[in-house]
Amino acid sequence: MAVIDLERSEPGPAVRDLVRLSDAWAGRDDLFEAFLAGYGRSLTAAEQARLLIDAALDSVSGIAYGAGHGDPELVERGRRTLARLRAEHCAALSPTGDATCPD
Q: What is the pLDDT of residue 1?
A: 59
DSSP secondary structure string for all residues of 32-57: HHHHHHHHTSPPPHHHHHHHHHHHHH
Round to whole Å and give the CA distance between 62 and 71: 9
Round to whole Å and give the CA distance between 101 and 93: 9
DSSP secondary structure string for all residues of 4-29: ---TT--S--GGGGHHHHTTTTTT-H
At 100, the pLDDT band (50, 70, 90 cuts) reads low
pTM: 0.76
The tens digit of pLDDT for each residue in 3-59 reads: 666 776 778 888 888 888 888 888 899 999 999 999 999 999 999 999 999 999 999
Q: Which residue has the higher pLDDT, 90 or 72?
A: 72
